[in-house]
Amino acid sequence: MLWYAIASLTPAALLGLAALFGGPFPLLGLMSITVLVFFMDKLTRQLPDTTSTGRRLSLVLAAVHFPLLALGVWALGAHPALTLIDKLLIFTGLGLYFGQVSNSNAHELIHASARLPRRIGIAIYISLLHGHHVSAHLRVHHIFAATDADPNSARAGEGFWAFALRALRGEFVAGWHADSRHRSRAPARSPLSHPYVAYIAGGILMLITALLIGGFKGLILYLCLALYAQLQLLLSDYVQHYGLRRAPQSNGKPEPMGAQHSWNAPKWYSNAMMLNAPRHSDHHMHPARAFPALRINPTHMPMLPHSLPVMAVLALFPPLWRRIMDRRLAKWQNPA
């Protein structure tokens, strides 16, 4: 688990130091989650096999997330000594960290079988004003991924910005309907027990907390950080499912989710930082499998030409993205 811990905790430590002390740390914090990851991925090596579930690291990352978020809001909104450049570097670094590491960790936790880790994962998503993603992910995405019924599965030829506008609204509504249908099949419950009550109430509590920590400026920057982290998650969904579709069967239902229905990225260090989230095919086939046990097979799984963070940057430019990906998509959608 050593490389997973190094890759995921190093940026958190540097960004925490940046928020407290400024100096060289804002630049080092940003570089640790961008430049360092890019060059470490260039090294030819594999993550070692391990029998660990990774749960201890997930809980450590969760324990780091909440104070780092509070510290970031305070630094951006109320720190008396940071320069504008410092704050720009810290904002960018924190947005990337929450979007790539905290989101990946929350995703791991909401798939846990035990109640406490699941609730911690939900709390992380709520802290980024994205609590409804839990319902959309578990009750919609894992059932309808790679079909048009899933708002978080991008269509062939769909640019990221069009996808993001559709998915931001679509996953909120789809998650709500899925939770409501699920509750309708159970014994009568109080309306206050609907998960969306916790998502919305938790979000309001986070807004009040941000205002108390960083003032009005801190509140605005917290909203921007949360949106930045949400866009990072949507970029991951966009990249990992772009264009791939499950064929309809004779009964009208889509074929079972297989290795060919998700894009994967083999780069070792970014995989370690994101807790193997780029090993996406295996996760969809085995949702309960812990992140250290996820496997990748370049022969049977669609592979991205670069790491997930690099592909997310390319996705911001739809014409460039389509030039790189559409011929690869055609290969997997129309195998010879």
Q: Are 232 and 102 in contact (CB under 8 A)?
A: no
**Ramachandran region, residue 301 (left: φ > 0; alpha: ψ -120 to 50; beta: rest):** beta
Q: Are 232 and 103 in contact (CB under 8 A)?
A: yes
Handedness of CA 48, 50, 53, 57 (dihedral sign): negative
SS3 string of 63-112?
A: HHHHHHHHHHHHHHHHCCCCCHHHHHHHHHHHHHHHHHHHHHHHHHHHCC
pLDDT in tens, the chain (336 residues): 899 999 999 999 999 999 999 999 999 999 999 999 999 999 988 888 787 889 999 999 999 999 999 999 999 999 999 999 999 999 999 999 999 999 999 999 999 999 999 999 999 999 999 999 999 999 999 999 999 999 999 999 999 999 999 999 999 999 999 999 998 887 767 888 899 999 999 999 999 999 999 999 999 999 999 999 999 999 999 999 999 999 999 888 999 999 999 999 989 999 999 999 999 999 999 999 999 999 999 889 999 999 999 999 999 999 999 999 999 999 998 765
Handedness of CA 176, 181, 186, 188 (dihedral sign): positive
pLDDT of residue 266: 86
Q: Are 79 and 93 in contact (CB under 8 A)?
A: no
327 by Cβ neighbours in 10 Å (0-12 / 13-18 / 19+) ranks as exposed
Beta-carbon count within 10 A of 289 CB: 16
pLDDT of residue 81: 94
pLDDT of residue 238: 98
The pTM score is: 0.95
pLDDT of residue 192: 85
Collapsing DSSP to helix, strand or coil, 53 comes out as coil
